[in-house]
Structure 1
């Protein structure tokens, strides 16, 4: 089963780039200088940021469906990111090295399945979920902190 892992569109965050720390705080966001790797998984470029890069931590609505599954949570993005990852049949290292909670949603945004997998086993779980014709898309979450990681669609 072919799949595509998509990073977030950076244009929805560009208004944050270059703001002062005070301005970010007023918006409920924080700037962090990366001081360890792994540890700051960027949701735009789908990679762990390198030491010395700047990350913005913000609250993001990753599941906007008007259902009980509507959800938002904290995510990191690389300040200044310009291009979203769009990976075909590839599990990026940022997912491969972590335990992932994978959630399957139908076209209405209702969760229809969920399971845990080590990132090295994620492709098999993606294939299993997409074997169900009702699955419209998947959300990957980092299992330990529970943060949204990526959207996965059929390719």
Structure 2
């Protein structure tokens, strides 16, 4: 595993841009990409998560802290709100970026 710096924001930048830590496989050939089947991955289901909602200008318009088992429901609620373009999910304890959630 490698510990690297990552900025999850697309362009244009946001005042919330803070490069943060992520872990990645050192040997990408051993890394199997996650295929979304509508379920929250196990890695997120067993952790406390900070969920942040952003609009199309990358401005935060909502947030929540949830147990991982609640992520699917909370993400659906937040993405259903007017003006929410995407969600960024972080591991609440260490603050590492976990996933970006977009509408299907």
TM-score between both structures, scaled by the size of structure 2: 0.89
Report the secondary structure of 2:28's partner residue: coil
| Partner of residue 146, structure 1 | 95
* The one of 45, 56, 70 aligned to 2:2: 56
The answer to which structure has the higher strand fraction is 1
Match of 1:131 among 66, 75, 80: 80
1:79 equivalent among 22, 26, 47 = 26
Any stretches of 5+ residues in structure 1 without a counterpart? 1-54
Larger Rg: 1
- The partner residue of 1:90 within 29, 33, 39 is 39
Q: In the alignment, which residue of structure 2 is the partner of 1:66?
A: 13
Asked if the contact 1:101/1:140 (under 8 Å) is kept, the reply is: yes
Match of 1:110 in 2: 59
Aligned residues: 101
CA separation of 1:71/1:63 partners in 2, compared to 1, >3 Å: closer, same or farther? Answer: farther
In structure 2, distance between residues paired with 1:89 and 1:133: 22
Q: CA RMSD in A?
A: 1.4
Which blocks of at least 5 consecutive residues in structure 2 are unaligned? none
